[in-house]
Amino acid sequence: MLVNMLDAKSQLSRLVKAALAGEEVIIASHGKAQVKLVPCAAAAGLKEPGGLAALSIQPSQVDEAFGEAVDQHVAELFNL
C-alpha cells in the first residue's frame, strides 16, 4: 500500500496494524516513496529481561576466575 505523507499522519494507527499484519506499507512525499513501515523484529538471542539470572554461578567459580593461577597464565600469554 502506498500512502502519501498527509494521509499517513492521520492514519498512523491503521497503517501500523497493516504493517504488523504483514502488508507492505510505503509512505510517499510528492509522489516519491520515502519510507517503508515494517514491524520491529526481536533481536536474535535476546529473551526476557533477567534471562541471565537463571545461570547458577557459584562464588567459588568467581574466585577461580580472579585467582593467582589465572594471573600467572595471563602473564605467560603476554610475556609479562
Contact 26, 8 (CB under 8 A): no
Contact 27, 6 (CB under 8 A): no
Q: What is the pLDDT of residues 48-72, one digit of tens each?
A: 667 667 777 777 777 777 888 888 9
Give the confidence band of 28 by pLDDT, cuts at 50, 70, 90: very high
- Phi, psi dihedrals of residue 37, rounded to the nearest 5°: -90, 115
Residue 50 DSSP class: T
User: Which amino acid, residue 67?
Assistant: G
| Residue 47 Cα distances to 41, 52, 55, 57, 75, angstroms | 12, 10, 14, 19, 37
- Phi, psi dihedrals of residue 19, rounded to the nearest 5°: -65, -40
